[in-house]
Chains A and B, each alone.
Chain A
Amino acid sequence: MPDSTRRPRLLGILKKITEKPIPADDDESLFESGLLDSFALPDLVSALEAEFAIKVPDRDLNPRKFDSLARIETYLEDHGA
Chain B
Amino acid sequence: MSTAFLQAFGAHVPDRVVTNAEIAARIGRTADWIEGATGIRERRWAASETSVADLAVAAAQDCLQRAGVEASTLGLVMVASGSARPGFPGPAAEVAARLGLEGVPALDVPMASAGALFGLALASQLTERFGDVLVIGAEKMSAILDAGPLDPNTAILFGDGAGAALVSSRPGRWRILDAVLHSDGQFRDDLAFDWASPLRMNGLSVILQASRKLPSVIEEVLARQGVVARDVTAFLLHQANQNLLVRVAKALNVAPGRVFSNVARYGNTSSASMLIAAAEWSRDDPQPGPVIFSAFGAGFHWGALLARSV
- A residues with a Cβ closer than 8 A to B are 31, 38-39, 41-42, 45, 58-59, 61-63
Contact = CB atoms under 8 A, between A and B. Distances in A.
Interface residues of B, number: 17
Contacts of B204: 31, 38, 41, 63
A42 B186 contact: no
Contacts of B208: 38, 41-42, 45, 61, 63
12 contacts: A38-B204, A38-B207, A39-B207, A39-B211, A39-B244, A42-B212, A45-B212, A61-B212, A62-B187, A63-B202, A63-B204, A63-B205
Contacts, number: 36
A58 B184 contact: yes
Contacts of A61: 205, 208-209, 212
Interface of B: 184, 186-187, 202-209, 211-213, 243-244, 247
Contact of A62 (B205, B212, B244, B247): B205
Contacts of A63: 202, 204-205, 208
A39 to B, nearest CB: 5
A62 B202 CA distance: 10
B205 A39 contact: no
A42 B213 contact: no
